[in-house]
């Protein structure tokens, strides 16, 4: 599903990733943990094709992403990768339903079909009653679940999440974590989750520990 080999990345003279090799199977829920500055976000951004590695190869669902041209790459990202960030990054002017529809519209889905899919996804996540509300009218936990719905709508190969529960209280945090595992069980969804949350890391199939730009251990 995801295969990284020899990934390196520097910002100026600072080498942030020093040779990362990583294989992730379909349906795996993998956490990445490690101290601040270890390179976790940088690795996730590179895995998600939002940033480019200096060297190494990335195979995502059978595609070698460095071979893609800019336009192909954005289409690939739109269809194959879902992102969930620490802060929901929903568009404030749009309703929950519209926010979820946007990646489907970008993928060329008709607006009626995108609306249908967005409604189904929101219902699946227990948010059907909140679909017509804008982000400011949703709780923190609801906003993160809308962000998960948006990440899911194109049936991506993988969802990449960077501290997705970092802004939530304990109850919403636990609900969001449970949602990840439900989505894996029901849809076979693959997740890579950067987290500082030890209780989440303990629940995942595998925990990758990063220190100073390298993988120090896998548990």
Ligand X SMILES: Nc1ncnc2c1ncn2[C@@H]1O[C@H](COP(=O)(O)OP(=O)(O)OP(=O)(O)O)[C@@H](O)[C@H]1O
| Residue 48 contact partner, candidates ligand X, Mg ion, none, CB within 5 to 8 A by sort of partner | none
The nearest distance, CB 158 to ligand X, in angstroms, is: 18
Inter-axis angle of helices 111-124 and 140-152, nearest 10: 130
Rounded distance between C-alpha atoms, residue 120 and residue 103, angstroms: 15
Min dist. Cβ of residue 199 to ligand X (A): 17
User: Can you tell me which of 31, 41, 109, 195 binds Mg ion, judged by CB under 5 A?
Assistant: 41
- Please provide the DSSP assignment of 39-103 as one string: SHHHHHHHHTTSS--SEEEEEETTEEGGGS-HHHHHHHHHHHEEEE-SS----TTS-HHHHHHHH
Q: Closest separation between CB of residue 213 and ligand X, Å?
A: 8
- From the list 39-47, 56-64, 115-123, 124-132, the region that binds Mg ion by CB under 5 A is 39-47
Write out the two tokens for 122. Answer: 């929101």
Give the integer Cα–Cα distance in Å for 19 and 9: 8
160 binds, among ligand X, Mg ion, none (CB under 5 to 8 A by kind): none
Residues 9-48 that bind ligand X (CB under 6 A): 11, 16, 34, 36-42
Q: Which residues bind Mg ion (CB under 5 A)?
A: 41
By CB under 6 A, name the binding residues for ligand X. 11, 16, 34, 36-42
């Amino acid at each position: 599903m995801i295969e990284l080999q020899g990934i390196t990345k520097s910002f100026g003279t600072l080498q942030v990733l020093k040779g990362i090799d990583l294989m992730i199977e379909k349906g795996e829920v993998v956490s990445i943990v490690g101290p601040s500055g270890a390179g976790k976000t940088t690795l996730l951004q590179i895995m998600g094709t939002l940033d480019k590695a200096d060297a190494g190869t990335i195979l995502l669902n059978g595609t070698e992403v460095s071979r893609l041209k800019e336009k192909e790459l954005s289409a690939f990202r739109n269809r194959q990768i879902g992102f969930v960030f620490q802060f929901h990054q929903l568009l404030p002017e749009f309703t929950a339903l519209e926010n979820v529809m946007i990646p489907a519209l970008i993928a060329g889905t008709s607006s009626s079909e995108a609306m249908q899919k967005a409604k189904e996804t929101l219902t699946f996540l227990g948010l059907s009653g909140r679909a017509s509300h804008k982000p400011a009218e949703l709780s923190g936990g609801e906003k993160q679940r809308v962000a998960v719905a948006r990440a899911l709508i194109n049936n991506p190969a993988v969802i990449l999440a960077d501290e997705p529960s970092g802004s939530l209280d304990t109850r919403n945090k636990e609900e969001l974590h449970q949602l990840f595992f439900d989505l894996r069980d029901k849809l076979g969804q693959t997740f890579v989750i950067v987290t500082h949350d030890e209780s989440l890391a303990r629940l995942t199939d595998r925990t990758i520990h990063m220190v100073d730009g390298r993988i120090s251990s896998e548990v």
